[in-house]
Chain A
Amino acid sequence: GESVGLHLPTLSVQEGDNSIINCAYSNSASDYFIWYKQESGKGPQFIIDIRSNMDKRQGQRVTVLLNKTVKHLSLQIAATQPGDSAVYFCAEVLSGGYNKLIFGAGTRLAVHP
């Protein structure tokens, strides 16, 4: 909901521009990463994922880049649309036993016409 977005960093972009959302993860042993989109009043929705043995993965209008050296993920959205306005957050998966998901706090993307 709306209160989730309070205190989050905000990225403002013009409709049609490309967006880049960044995420720093904490554990070098994480072997799987996921990007989620959360619209106001809704639950998180899966966007794209990437395994640690990859550097880049592309989906429809979205690309995820993984830099394991600096423990950094980015989500690139091409030709950003008003419907892309939401909170985006990454999750890292630590393997072993129950595979634990660690979620980042998120970034709010605001798309202006």
Chain B
Amino acid sequence: NAGVTQTPKFRVLKTGQSMTLLCAQDMNHEYMYWYRQDPGMGLRLIHYSVGEGTTAKGEVPDGYNVSRLKKQNFLLGLESAAPSQTSVYFCASSYSAGGYGYTFGSGTRLTVV
């Protein structure tokens, strides 16, 4: 019972490179989220999904794209990485929208140089 799995765990990118972060959950949750966590700040929502085939913008969506082609997977893409996107990225899933039952992945540490 893995819960929420994020890959990769670490990555170093050069400015302008692209990459995709993968989030997979095995709990049949409808809702999935991508957050970023920066030193001294709370988690900030990048994008979220309320079900397969749907996505929506969160607080800080610029520079990111997402896709939810399958219910269990939520992908976060960086088309042209910038140093300001250096952060720890967390994926989460939940069975409802009300903040209940959030399960977080273990994070992806991304450094853009």
A and B pair up: yes
In the bound assembly, the distance between CA atoms of A95 and B54 in angstroms comes to: 20
Residue contact B40 to A98, C-beta cutoff 8 Å: no
Number of interface residues of A (CB under 8 A): 29
**Pairwise interchain contact B41-A105, C-beta atoms closer than 8 A:** yes
Which stretch, A12-20, A39-47, A60-68, A74-82, touches the partner chain B? A39-47
Interface contact tally, CB-CB below 8 A: 64
Interface residues on B, range: 20 to 34
A99 touches B99 (CB 8 A): yes
A89 cross-chain contacts in B, Cβ below 8 A = 42
For B39, B43, B50, B100, the residue with the greatest tally of chain A CB atoms inside 10 Å of its CB is: B43
User: Residues of B at under 8 Å CB distance from A?
Assistant: 4, 37, 39-45, 48, 50, 56, 88, 90, 92, 97-100, 102, 104-107, 109
With A49-B100, A103-B44, A106-B42 known, 10 other A-B pairs at CB within 8 A are: A4-B39, A4-B88, A43-B4, A43-B107, A95-B98, A98-B50, A101-B45, A101-B99, A102-B42, A103-B42
